[in-house]
Chains A and B, each alone.
Chain A
């Protein structure tokens, strides 16, 4: 088929202004937040309704063209990148909150709604959407569901999967289903659970019923400063072991503090090797006692200072620094590789030591900003992409971090998804049988490998069954290059 004909047909479905086909404009869609993997789509469409999405998917299915869903493109694993070209379906114009239903504790919204703005819109009702990824000011709830995103407050409130009641999804033949009726406990197969975290590989989400959470009556935020990251990690491990449940426990190490200290006017001393951000929330009564218990554990683990954020403005400042820490790495290095793994919290101190060792071994600085309370590490390997040796060492260092995490009984992704970035690490964690079961599930939703091909599953090396199951995606790549 001629490209012009495809574009003509897409224009008929989404309108002339809903199609991007200029090659220079398409360049701006060649990567998400993960710039290590790039791929140009042939065309981007911006539908405004479920019917338009269905129309585009039917067209793509008829011609066998890959479809790649994309929200704000803030993902960190290449999930929204068109690795084999095709049609990128952007949800940027499906950004409406359709219904706030406080009596049933839920909200109906389109996938392109920005996470932070959803909470802002719920605020007058006294509610919030609890999962709060660090990119929440820009990322969309569609992307959150697709990646089963976490966030600092997921320690107490649970990750995205705990907040999705039902999803409307366009399937590979263009049909539209609801995975549940929007109530917390729908009978039958848990299709909502299947869709959450499926990274756009089994269909395209067009609406969702999400759980909303009461805003806490009171919030306290303190920063505990430690001479090194080991002390901070031990404190976190003990807080969890003692059964206390803060809303968030976040660690920033020396390099991360350096990146954000000036911009967010934190005024943290150079001597601080690690800062542990502690937030407790809930009813006013008992909150100070809880905080006292947590800070007590910090002091017993060598904290040199405990600084409360006394005003709302101070609290916001501390949080802004924490949540913008990844983006702030541009101040230290032109490129970074953000690794996302999880270890059991008791293994945090040892694992952090190992990350330090890996940094020395590969001679690259590694900053650490992470959801310590969840044991979710984010070593940020700093390097210059233009330097080949550094590039190679960064990849090897990342692989070492994965190995260490798995050795310690952890997993290879906490919240950023597998995408392209982690696909080859899947075999470290899952057996061939595990992966074949997943591939079988994928197959039943997307038999012709239409949605987001070349993601999540390993590229097929040494894994015959999977290779066969993902054949369609490879066939597409061959056609494209022929």
Chain B
């Protein structure tokens, strides 16, 4: 017998075009060995090869060679479903720079959508993309549509909010008011959030202190401020967007820990968001604007290091050189900037941590590795070294510590189903250790973990590693 094949309708293929097209050379570095598969969170959840790095590169190759076009639903869905966690890069023996070609593919899609060449994915007919029934809850085989509010949000967030830190802080302030005023209680009780499709997003909102870190050129001296001390190092901190509002206390902890380690700490004014959400989301030009602004804010300071305490920001900033490689005026300045960017754990492990002043913390802690620390920056040993340096603290390794928690920037807003599934897997793994605290080093992860723990009603805390170090210094 034979299977009658359906003839595909004749449709024009939309190729990669213009600047920021995925490099054919990088695509062809993939030798299809498949060693990346097990490292990929979406492959692990679905078992589908098109949802694996090898499969996605194959799809990019197909567009690159003109066998399929950007309008392919599978291509669009897969470029959106990828978390850009880059675990595959760490696993890849051939050194395929996956993040680079993924981001370029997203730029291509965003341009094609903006030009009206392709319909947004949600208007396309059913793609029959399956997800496993046993693991993901809803029976609909389609990936969730990107609702209208998300598109509006995307414009507002990428276009305005993250580009202007004053606007961002004002927005955060109003969200704090929302949480404190009882409006949050009303909104949760009334079900209005479900109605507008924001129920999941809302539980991810961190409790906001109302305090924000505003970089205004403050200089914090080394030591504990009691006696004047000669600084061992002069460092500047990227305060960022979410970190400066929702996680202001982490900045405070970071500053104190650096002071304890003989650093003079500067918060340079005029700095802005690192641009991670833009570059990961297909708005490379938006990311470039922010990169230039940050380079200008930091380059004249003469500091020994530019310290970043959020994994996602650190990895983005370390790639400014690549981001601006076509910009003759900025490329060299970007490279110079990149040489100074240090993740806070990387820096502390390098300078010989002040262990003499660490007090005891009788805590069991498990460590959740942020993807952009473990995979993008390949920083895996240092966070553990720091945790193990704290007297009394017991580090319990969880299974799949470096598998993405599903946060991935705006991913839990754009792909809530997969994000929830991965969040649940991650917290499940963390809970098997019985640890009292989950340590991490990135705002997205912290929110994702806290949200999932709250949903489960678990009494486990989420803390940044620098917060634990700060607490240990305070305990002396």
Per-position 1/0 for B1-32, Cβ under 8 A of A? 11111101000000000000000000011111
**Given the complex of chains A and B, what is the CA–CA distance between A263 and B378 in angstroms?**
12
Indicate if A479 sits at the interface (CB-CB under 8 A). Answer: yes
Q: Which of A314-353 contact B (CB under 8 A)?
A: 324-331, 334-336
- The stretch among A31-39, A241-249, A294-302 that forms the contact with chain B is A31-39
Per-position 1/0 for A21-35, Cβ under 8 A of B? 111110111011101
Are the CB atoms of B93 and A46 closer together than 8 Å? Answer: no
Are the CB atoms of B1 and A65 closer together than 8 Å? Answer: yes
Residues of B within 8 A of A19 (CB): 128, 130
Are the CB atoms of B49 and A29 closer together than 8 Å? Answer: yes
Indicate if B131 sits at the interface (CB-CB under 8 A). Answer: yes
For A336, the closest partner residue in chain B by CB is B31
Residues of B within 8 A of A27 (CB): 58-59, 62, 67-68
For B31, the closest partner residue in chain A by CB is A330
Residues of B within 8 A of A92 (CB): 43, 47-48
Give chain B nearest CB distance to A474 CB in angstroms.
14
Residues of A within 8 A of B67 (CB): 27
Give chain B nearest CB distance to A119 CB in angstroms.
13
Per-position 1/0 for A241-264, Cβ under 8 A of B? 000000000000000000010010
- The stretch among B72-80, B218-226, B302-310, B351-359 that forms the contact with chain A is B72-80
Give chain B nearest CB distance to A245 CB in angstroms.
29
Residues of A within 8 A of B35 (CB): 74, 135, 137-138, 324, 327
- If A1-B3, A24-B68, A480-B2 touch, whether A330 touches B47 (CB-CB below 8 Å) is no
Which residue of the partner chain, among B3, B34, B132, contacts A72 with CB atoms under 8 Å?
A: B34
Interface size on A, residues (CB 8 A): 63
Indicate if B129 sits at the interface (CB-CB under 8 A). Answer: yes
- If A17-B141, A25-B74 touch, whether A329 touches B31 (CB-CB below 8 Å) is yes
Indicate if A461 sits at the interface (CB-CB under 8 A). Answer: no
Residues of A within 8 A of B127 (CB): 22
Per-position 1/0 for A61-104, Cβ under 8 A of B? 00111000000111000000000010000101101000000000
Residues of A within 8 A of B134 (CB): 48, 93
Are the CB atoms of A21 and B94 closer together than 8 Å? Answer: no
Residues of A within 8 A of B54 (CB): 28
Are the CB atoms of B47 and A33 closer together than 8 Å? Answer: no
Indicate if A2 sits at the interface (CB-CB under 8 A). Answer: yes
Indicate if B95 sits at the interface (CB-CB under 8 A). Answer: yes
**Given the complex of chains A and B, what is the CA–CA distance between A334 and B62 in angstroms?**
16
For A384, the closest partner residue in chain B by CB is B28
Which residue of the partner chain, among B8, B29, B58, B96, contacts A28 with CB atoms under 8 Å?
A: B58
**Given the complex of chains A and B, what is the CA–CA distance between A42 and B201 in angstroms?**
39
Give chain A nearest CB distance to B332 CB in angstroms.
24
**Given the complex of chains A and B, what is the CA–CA distance between A29 and B48 in angstroms?**
9
Are the CB atoms of B48 and A25 closer together than 8 Å? Answer: yes
- If A1-B4, A327-B93 touch, whether A114 touches B128 (CB-CB below 8 Å) is no
**Given the complex of chains A and B, what is the CA–CA distance between A6 and B433 in angstroms?**
46
Are the CB atoms of A17 and B132 closer together than 8 Å? Answer: yes
Give chain B nearest CB distance to A276 CB in angstroms.
20
Indicate if A3 sits at the interface (CB-CB under 8 A). Answer: yes
Q: Which of B123-155 contact A (CB under 8 A)?
A: 127-134, 136, 139, 141
Size category of the B interface is 35 or more
Residues of B within 8 A of A46 (CB): 47-48, 130, 132
Give chain A nearest CB distance to B440 CB in angstroms.
22
Are the CB atoms of A482 and B73 closer together than 8 Å? Answer: no
Residues of B within 8 A of A20 (CB): 48, 50, 128-130
Are the CB atoms of A330 and B30 closer together than 8 Å? Answer: yes
Indicate if A18 sits at the interface (CB-CB under 8 A). Answer: yes
For B93, the closest partner residue in chain A by CB is A327
Indicate if A227 sits at the interface (CB-CB under 8 A). Answer: no
* Interface SS of chain B: loop
Are the CB atoms of B74 and A22 closer together than 8 Å? Answer: yes
For A2, the closest partner residue in chain B by CB is B4
Are the CB atoms of A18 and B4 closer together than 8 Å? Answer: no
Are the CB atoms of A327 and B50 closer together than 8 Å? Answer: no
Give chain A nearest CB distance to B388 CB in angstroms.
15
**Given the complex of chains A and B, what is the CA–CA distance between A348 and B62 in angstroms?**
42
Residues of A within 8 A of B96 (CB): 330
Are the CB atoms of A74 and B139 closer together than 8 Å? Answer: no
Residues of A within 8 A of B129 (CB): 20, 22, 25
Indicate if B196 sits at the interface (CB-CB under 8 A). Answer: no
**Given the complex of chains A and B, what is the CA–CA distance between A220 and B132 in angstroms?**
43
Indicate if B471 sits at the interface (CB-CB under 8 A). Answer: no
For B96, the closest partner residue in chain A by CB is A330
Indicate if A116 sits at the interface (CB-CB under 8 A). Answer: yes
**Given the complex of chains A and B, what is the CA–CA distance between A63 and B92 in angstroms?**
41
**Given the complex of chains A and B, what is the CA–CA distance between A116 and B133 in angstroms?**
26
Q: Which of B172-208 contact A (CB under 8 A)?
A: none
Give chain B nearest CB distance to A448 CB in angstroms.
12
Indicate if A117 sits at the interface (CB-CB under 8 A). Answer: yes
**Given the complex of chains A and B, what is the CA–CA distance between A240 and B139 in angstroms?**
58
**Given the complex of chains A and B, what is the CA–CA distance between A93 and B399 in angstroms?**
19
Residues of A within 8 A of B50 (CB): 20, 24-25, 28
Q: Which of A137-159 contact B (CB under 8 A)?
A: 137-139
Which residue of the partner chain, among A24, A25, A32, contacts B34 with CB atoms under 8 Å?
A: A32
For A334, the closest partner residue in chain B by CB is B28
Which residue of the partner chain, among B33, B43, B58, contacts A33 with CB atoms under 8 Å?
A: B33
Residues of B within 8 A of A25 (CB): 48, 50, 74, 129
Scoring A19, A29, A327 by chain B CB atoms within 10 A of each residue's CB, the highest score goes to: A327
Indicate if B461 sits at the interface (CB-CB under 8 A). Answer: no
Scoring A65, A325, A331, A336 by chain B CB atoms within 10 A of each residue's CB, the highest score goes to: A331
Are the CB atoms of A482 and B47 closer together than 8 Å? Answer: no
Are the CB atoms of B3 and A114 closer together than 8 Å? Answer: no
Indicate if A16 sits at the interface (CB-CB under 8 A). Answer: yes
Tell me the A residues contacting B by CB distance below 8 Å: 1-4, 6, 15-25, 27-29, 31-33, 35, 42, 44, 46, 48, 63-65, 72-74, 85, 90, 92-93, 95, 112, 114, 116-117, 120, 135, 137-139, 260, 263, 324-331, 334-336, 479-480, 482
Pairs A–B under 8 Å by Cβ, sample size 30: A1-B3, A15-B133, A17-B131, A17-B132, A17-B136, A20-B48, A20-B129, A22-B73, A25-B48, A27-B68, A28-B54, A31-B32, A33-B34, A42-B5, A74-B33, A93-B134, A112-B47, A117-B38, A120-B399, A137-B35, A139-B34, A325-B93, A326-B33, A327-B94, A328-B95, A329-B31, A335-B31, A336-B31, A479-B1, A482-B2
Of all A-B residue pairs in the complex, the 5 with the closest CB atoms, nearest first, are A330-B94, A327-B93, A92-B47, A324-B93, A28-B55
Q: A1-B3, A334-B28 provided; 8 other pairs, C-beta below 8 A?
A: A25-B74, A27-B58, A35-B31, A73-B37, A92-B43, A139-B34, A331-B94, A334-B31
